[in-house]
Structure formats: structure tokens, C-alpha cells
């Protein structure tokens, strides 16, 4: 409804006198004071004695963001009238990815602002003021409406919108929850069809999570807590993260979308125990939800373990929370976490891919390069490359493809045959050090010389040789072993 104020809207935008609230804000900001709120509230009530005032931290309820999405309108009252002062800091936000052609943007950080706010046919006056008490300057919203009920209805609508999940993922990092649209965009590209895992394992993982969120009534009927936990473990680079993202994507695509809460660290100004409390409080608020702990072994240290377990097992109701933790080092997890049922009930090992999975991954890269006239990638190379990458993780095979393609691009640009890994030399290993496929190519499939005509094969062999040496140096062993028909070593 239209506001009935002692200072009408037209008067507000045409008066030649300084806004009394800004005057007190100015005096308060340039003089000793005990509490800015007391000064500002007194000034606002003097300016608008007939309106009801509600004070809300902008971090909890950002009315300007709510209006920016089209749910309401906010018109600066100082437009075309320099006598009513608004104080803003003009700032620059760098682009997330400069290579996309985005040059960044300019925006205003409002220190003191005043708006005519309209929502659902009602009119309000809104002040947004960043106070200067204490070490942290937190903006506050001062909402003036005709009745307390109108203020509360607007506040509820704006707060519910702010706390809902809309094209973003809630991420806990640096001690607080934040919405990440970048992670949201990333998971839109993750699909189970692109995840290369043993068929039975993939089926079990999908079923584990999907059945949980479909079984609330079944858990209730059986009178057991509706909560579960799984751990994805194994050497790095073998699909743990992409599997989590694919699961997140599928949960958001449900008819009843399930939000993800993604935990990156427990770093917090209040300490790790306080961070754990914030994490599980938000998870209980958002249930049913998918709660992800990235690198679980580094998040749940000895210092915070007991507090973490208390949040998982304590008196608080965790119904509707499905936890997943990823780790490259299962042995570093406390047995109370990794082996105790009702916490993380199932564990899935993501090992280095076998030959069949490596072939599929090469076929995935072949499909990515389909139609690329600069790189010839016939089907026969998929099995060939898979054969000489035994012991590689998916991440290492990816690096082999990326480095080989860059070598080809550099060669094409310079006109030279030699790539960044130098001229190819023959494998100077005895026959027992040949990989299964190297021996198989020579004796059973076809002459390796037939593959040499493909530049991708020539370049990727150089890269794989370098990566192999790196891996064996790190692990201190021959990660590939001998050929399957090596008589010298009895295999």
C-alpha cells in the first residue's frame, strides 16, 4: 500500500534541506560514539515518525539483491537531487576468466543509500548503511513500512529467496557459507555417461545415493535414522571428484531437487570446532541435502575429530543428510570415522584404471577430437595408447593427451617435427620391461611401424615415456611390471 508519511514521497525527492538521517550519519561517523545504531534509529524515527522501522543485517536479508532479480523494485531517492546525499564506493570486479573476453565490471559499494522500495503493491523506504563500529564494517538495512506486518512479510520473502538454492552451490570455505555459481556451472558439464568406472561400481554408487533420497518413508517405517555416509578413496586422478559432481548434477535435476553443501576447509575465525558447528547447522537447515567433504582426511584432523563425531552421532537430528567424503589416503582417517557403521557406512575404491577402462578413456578423447582436421585419431590408437599407459591414473592419461596435443600444435606453428619432449628415442629397456601392449603390438596385433605414421601416436609416446619415468621415480618401483609373456621373470 502507498506510504503515509510525515514527509511525502514527492517532498523527499524535492526538498532542499539535507536528509536528517544522513546528517546524523555524518555527525556520527566523524565524532566519538558508543553505538551507531542508537544514533541512526533515533534520526530515522524523527524523520519518519508515522512509519514502522525494522532493522535487518544485510548479510541475512539483502533487499537490493532481491530487487535486482525482479522480485521487487528499488529506486534511489537521491536521483537527480544532489541535496540528499548517498555515499558509495565505486569499485572494480575483475572477471572470473579473462580469456572469455570479459573485461570485468564496475559496481557501487553502498556506504549510505536510500531507496523507494516497492513490493507486492506496497511501498517502503529503505536505508542501507554501513556502520563503522568495531573492526568489521557490516551493512545494515533499515526498512520503513506502513505496518509491522508488511515489513515482516517483505523480510520473510527476501530472506527465503536469499537462503534458497538458485543456480549455485553452497560452499563452506574461509569460515562461512557462500553461493558459488562457478561450481554450479562446472557440475552442469558432469554427467554419469562421461564417468568411466567399472559398471557394477557405478551402478552401486548411483543406487546408494538415489535410493537414500527416495526412501524417507521406508527409514521412518523401520524406525532407523534417515542418514547415510559414503567414502570415495583411492589414488588421485581416478574419478572421485567427477563422480561427486555427476551425482550433484543428477540430484539437482530431480523433480524434487536435492541441494549440495560443499565443504572445502574448516578454516574459520572462530576455530575449526565452530566451523563444524556451522556446517552441520546449515546441513540440518537444508535437509534433505547432499553434504560433501573434499579431502576428508585433511578436514577432520585429530584436533577436531571428537567434535566432528559428536555432530555426526550426537543428540541433534541429522535425518535427511547424505554425507560423502573423498580422500586419497584412507589410511590417514581415524578408524572411528572410516570403520564405524552409521557414520560413513560404505567405502568405494577408485583404483588406477584397468586396460578396458583406459581404452574407454582414450575413446572419450577420440570423441572430443572428432572432426579436428589437424589430428588424425583412428580407433586403433585407443587400444595402442591404453596399452602403454598401464599404471597411469585418468589424470595422468589426460596429461599425456594434453601435452601431446600441445606438442603437435607447437610443431605445426613452428614447422618443426620436434616437440617439447625432444626427439623420440627407442625404449632402452630389456624385453622384460616392455609393457603388455608393446609386446602384443609387435607379435599379435600389427607391426608398430604401422602406427608411426600417426603424429598423435609419435608425440604421445614421448610424453608417456617422460610421465612413466616421473611416476616410477615417485613410487620407487616399476609401476608397469613386465610383459605377460616374459619368461625371464616367470610371468
Q: What is the CATH number of the domain that holds 209?
A: 3.40.50.300
Distances in whole angstroms, Cα of residue 111 to Cα of each of 67, 85, 108, 135, 200: 18, 11, 9, 16, 57
Residues 377 and 317 in one domain: no
Nearest to 278 by CA among 350, 408, 177: 177
The pairing of beta strand 122-130 with beta strand 139-145: antiparallel
Residue at 458 is within a domain: yes
Residues 197 and 116 in one domain: no
Q: How confident is the model at residue 440 (pLDDT cuts 50, 70, 90)?
A: very low
Give the three cell numbers for residue 432.
Answer: 622384460
Site of grid cell 603424429: 455
Residues 154 and 174 in one domain: no
Percent of the chain beyond pLDDT 90?
47
Residues 189 and 332 in one domain: yes
Residue 90: what pLDDT?
86
Residues 313 and 253 in one domain: yes
Taking residues 393-422, what's their average pLDDT?
75
Please determine, for residue 102, whether its predicted confidence score (pLDDT) is greater than 90. Answer: no
Residues 242 and 262 in one domain: yes
Residues 313 and 203 in one domain: yes
Residue at 35 is within a domain: yes
DSSP tag of 105: E
Residues 117 and 199 in one domain: no
Residue at 490 is within a domain: no
Q: Report the alpha-carbon distance of residue 266 to residue 458 in Å, rounded.
A: 46
Residue 419: what pLDDT?
42
Residues 190 and 323 in one domain: yes
Report yes or no: 179 and 87 within 8 Å, Cβ to Cβ.
Answer: no
Residue 190: what pLDDT?
93
Residues 344 and 422 in one domain: no
The pairing of beta strand 87-93 with beta strand 73-76: unpaired
Domain boundary at 162, 178, 201, which?
Answer: 162
Residues 432 and 362 in one domain: yes
Q: Report the alpha-carbon distance of residue 138 to residue 453 in Å, rounded.
A: 65
Lowest mean pLDDT among 6-10, 111-115, 212-216: 6-10
Residue at 483 is within a domain: no
Residue at 480 is within a domain: no
Q: Over the stretch 350-379, which tens digit does the pLDDT of each residue have?
A: 999 999 999 999 999 999 988 887 888 999
Domain boundary at 349, 379, 400, which?
Answer: 349
Domain boundary at 162, 185, 220, which?
Answer: 162
Residue at 214 is within a domain: yes
Higher pLDDT among residues 440 and 326, named by residue = 326
Q: How confident is the model at residue 9 (pLDDT cuts 50, 70, 90)?
A: very low
Q: Report the alpha-carbon distance of residue 54 to residue 38 in Å, rounded.
A: 13
Structural domain harbouring 267: 170-349
Residue at 491 is within a domain: no
**DSSP string for 295-307:** THHHHS-TTTHHH
Question: How many domains are contained in the chain?
Answer: 3
Query: How many CA atoms, within 13 angstroms, populate the side-chain half-sphere of residue 138?
Result: 13
Residues 209 and 333 in one domain: yes
Give the three cell numbers for residue 239.
Answer: 574419478
Please determine, for residue 226, whether its predicted confidence score (pLDDT) is greater than 50. Answer: yes
The residues that bridge with 107 in the sheet, in sequence order, are: 91
Model pTM above 0.75:
no
Residue 114: what pLDDT?
92
Q: How confident is the model at residue 6 (pLDDT cuts 50, 70, 90)?
A: low
Residue at 85 is within a domain: yes
Amino acid at each position: 500500500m502507498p506510504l503515509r508519511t510525515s514527509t511525502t514521497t514527492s517532498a523527499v525527492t524535492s526538498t532542499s534541506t539535507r536528509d536528517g538521517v544522513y546528517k546524523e550519519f555524518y555527525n556520527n561517523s566523524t565524532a566519538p560514539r558508543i553505538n551507531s545504531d542508537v544514533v541512526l534509529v533515533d534520526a530515522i524515527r524523527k524523520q519518519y515518525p508515522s512509519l514502522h522501522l525494522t532493522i535487518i543485517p544485510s548479510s541475512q536479508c539483502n533487499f537490493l539483491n532481491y530487487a535486482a532479480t525482479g522480485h521487487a523494485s528499488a529506486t534511489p531517492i537521491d536521483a537527480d537531487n544532489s541535496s540528499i546525499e548517498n555515499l558509495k564506493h565505486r569499485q572494480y570486479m575483475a572477471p572470473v576468466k579473462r580469456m572469455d573476453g570479459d573485461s570485468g565490471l564496475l559496481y557501487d559499494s553502498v556506504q549510505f543509500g536510500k531507496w523507494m522500495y516497492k513490493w507486492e503493491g506496497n511501498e517502503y523506504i529503505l536505508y542501507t548503511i554501513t556502520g563503522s563500529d568495531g573492526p568489521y564494517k557490516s551493512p545494515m538495512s533499515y526498512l520503513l513500512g506502513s505496518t509491522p506486518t508488511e515489513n515482516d512479510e517483505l523480510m520473510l520473502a527476501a530472506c527465503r529467496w536469499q537462503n534458497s538454492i538458485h543456480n549455485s552451490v553452497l560452499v563452506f570455505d574461509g569460515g562461512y557459507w557462500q553461493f558459488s555459481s562457478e561450481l554450479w556451472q562446472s557440475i552442469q558439464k558432469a554427467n554419469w555417461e562421461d564417468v568411466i568406472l567399472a559398471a557394477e561400481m557405478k551402478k552401486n554408487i548411483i543406487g546408494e545415493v538415489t535410493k537414500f533420497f527416495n526412501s524417507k518413508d521406508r527409514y521412518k517405517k523401520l524406525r532407523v535414522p534417515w542418514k547415510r555416509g559414503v567414502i570415495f578413496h583411492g589414488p588421485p586422478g581416478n574419478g572421485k571428484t567427477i563422480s561427486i559432481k555427476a551425482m550433484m548434477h543428477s540430484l539437482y535435476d530431480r523433480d524434487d531437487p536435492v541441494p549440495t553443501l560443499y565443504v572445502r576447509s574448516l578454516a574459520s575465525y572462530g576455530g575449526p570446532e565452530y566451523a563444524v558447528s556451522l556446517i552441520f547447522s546449515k546441513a540440518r537447515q537444508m535437509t534433505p541435502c547432499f553434504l560433501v567433504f573434499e579431502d576428508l582426511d585433511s578436514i577432520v584432523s585429530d584436533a577436531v575429530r571428537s567434535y566432528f563425531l559428536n555432530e555426526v552421532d550426537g543428540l541433534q537430528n541429522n535425518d535427511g543428510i547424505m554425507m560423502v567424503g573423498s580422500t586419497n589416503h584412507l589410511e590417514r582417517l581415524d578408524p572411528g570415522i572410516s570403520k564405524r557403521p552409521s557414520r560413513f557406512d560404505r567405502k568405494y575404491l577408485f583404483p588406477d584404471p584397468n586396460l578396458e577402462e583406459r581404452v574407454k578413456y582414450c575413446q572419450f578423447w577420440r570423441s572430443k577430437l572428432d572432426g579436428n582436421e589437424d589430428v588424425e585419431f583412428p580407433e586403433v590408437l585407443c587400444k595402442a595408447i591404453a596399452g602403454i599407459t598401464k599404471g597411469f591414473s585418468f589424470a595422468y592419461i589426460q596429461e599425456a593427451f594434453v601435452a601431446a596435443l600441445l606438442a603437435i600444435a607447437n610443431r605445426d606453428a613452428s614447422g618443426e617435427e620436434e616437440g617439447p619432449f625432444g626427439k623420440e628415442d627407442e625404449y632402452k629397456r630389456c624385453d622384460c620391461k616392455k609393457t603388455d601392449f608393446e609386446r602384443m603390438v609387435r607379435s599379435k596385433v600389427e607391426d608398430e611401424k604401422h602406427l608411426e605414421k600417426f603424429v598423435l601416436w609419435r608425440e604421445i609416446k614421448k610424453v608417456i615415456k617422460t610421465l612413466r619415468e616421473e611416476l616410477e621415480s615417485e613410487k620407487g618401483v616399476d609401476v608397469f611390471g613386465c610383459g605377460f609373456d616374459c619368461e625371464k621373470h616367470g610371468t
